[in-house]
């Protein structure tokens, strides 16, 4: 019987040749590792019932629907593409609750930035907020992806493996150019001390530490930077279609969720109490 590491290596190899992002590969490996541990690496025992038992186990642990859906997708890929097993896995995706995004005001964004002393860490937050970049996009950003002549950033292999273009904040150009000095075109803009990309966890920790130092009590995450700037654009009167295009939302309804927290008419209504 092959070891668990053998199957994880095969999974990584298959995902890499399909050009999946490093973050997606990390997530899929984590999901499959946990799944294989739960069945004691007994690959031959994997069938539809075993998979359902595992999903029920995740639910008993109060895992979020989004997390459970990630496990389902990872297991489907693993069984079909790595094990080559012909198992009918007709598992429906768990319904995810529709929640309003947690937003940070402009003042809170500035508070967070003022509590970051490291220039690289500060640019990480500034650029993520100002260019609407997801954490996976900012950590994989390379020098070649920044077009100073046309003031845009080419985001490669973004969500759903699609490239997109976003605006380069003019106020950050001088700072960005400082980080490009002595770097080649293929180097990461905000590389780690080892000369590789910053990890997702490192980026999240930088944000969380600054949030704590700022005494902001909201349960905001790194992704709140993206939510916040979209909201600030709408508050400035930017047409929602432009915001949809910049955020690369396929459906306008995804963008419209921000209008629920920026509606000026709603803010002007006073309670009768």
Residue 13: name the closest of 79, 81, 84 by CA.
81
- Active-site option among 226, 227, 232, 267: 226
Residue 249 annotated in active site: yes
Contact, 139 vs 21, CB < 8 A? no
20: annotated active-site residue: no
**Among candidate residues 108, 126, 103, the one with its CA nearest the CA of residue 259:** 103
Active site residue 242: no
Name residues whose C-beta falls within 8 Å of residue 185's C-beta, 6 or more positions apart in sequence: 142, 143, 144
Beta bridge partners of 166: 153
Does the annotation mark 85 as catalytic? no
Question: Which helix or strand (DSSP H or E) is residue 95 part of?
Answer: none
Tokens of 211: 């949030």
Catalytic annotation on 159?
yes
Burial class of residue 207 in the structure, from the number of CB atoms within 10 Å of its CB (0-12 exposed, 13-18 middle, 19+ buried) = buried
Contact assessment for residue 26 and residue 140, using Cβ atoms and an 8 Å cutoff = no
Does the annotation mark 121 as catalytic? no
Q: Active-site residue among 121, 134, 227, 232?
A: 134
Q: Both tokens of residue 243? A: 């915001």
Looking at 159, 177, 178, 213, which residue is catalytic? 159
Query: Helix H segments across the chain?
Result: 4-17, 22-38, 48-60, 65-77, 106-114, 119-130, 135-139, 173-180, 200-213, 224-235, 240-247, 252-256, 264-268
Burial class (CB in 10 A: 0-12, 13-18, 19+), 249: middle
Distance CA 122, CA 128 (A): 10
CA distance 162 to 207: 26
Q: Which residues are catalytic?
A: 134, 159, 223, 226, 249, 258
């Amino acid at each position: 019987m092959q070891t668990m590491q053998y199957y994880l290596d095969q999974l990584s190899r298959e995902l890499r040749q399909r050009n999946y992002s490093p973050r997606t590969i990390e997530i899929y490996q984590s999901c499959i590792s946990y799944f294989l541990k739960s069945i004691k690496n007994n690959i031959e025992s994997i069938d539809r019932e075993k998979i359902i038992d595992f999903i029920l186990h995740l639910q008993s642990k109060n895992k979020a629907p989004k997390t459970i859906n990630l496990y389902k997708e990872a297991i489907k890929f693993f069984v079909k593409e790595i094990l080559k097993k012909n198992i009918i896995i007709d598992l429906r995706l768990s319904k995810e609750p529709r929640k309003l995004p947690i937003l940070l005001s402009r003042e809170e964004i500035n508070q967070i930035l003022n509590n970051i002393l490291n220039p690289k860490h500060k640019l990480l937050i500034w650029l993520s907020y100002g260019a609407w970049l997801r954490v996976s996009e900012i950590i994989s950003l390379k020098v070649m992806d920044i077009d100073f002549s046309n003031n845009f950033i080419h985001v490669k292999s973004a969500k759903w493996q699609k490239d997109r273009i976003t605006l380069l904040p003019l106020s950050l150009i001088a700072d960005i150019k400082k980080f490009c000095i002595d770097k080649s075109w293929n180097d990461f803009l905000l590389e780690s001390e080892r000369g590789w990309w910053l990890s997702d966890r490192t980026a999240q920790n930088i944000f969380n530490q600054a949030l704590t130092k700022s005494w902001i009590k909201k349960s905001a995450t790194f992704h709140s930077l993206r939510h916040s700037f979209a909201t600030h654009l709408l508050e400035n009167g930017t047409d929602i279609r432009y915001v949809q295009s910049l955020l690369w939302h396929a459906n306008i309804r995804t963008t419209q969720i921000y209008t629920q927290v920026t509606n000026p008419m709603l803010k002007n209504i006073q309670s009768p109490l």
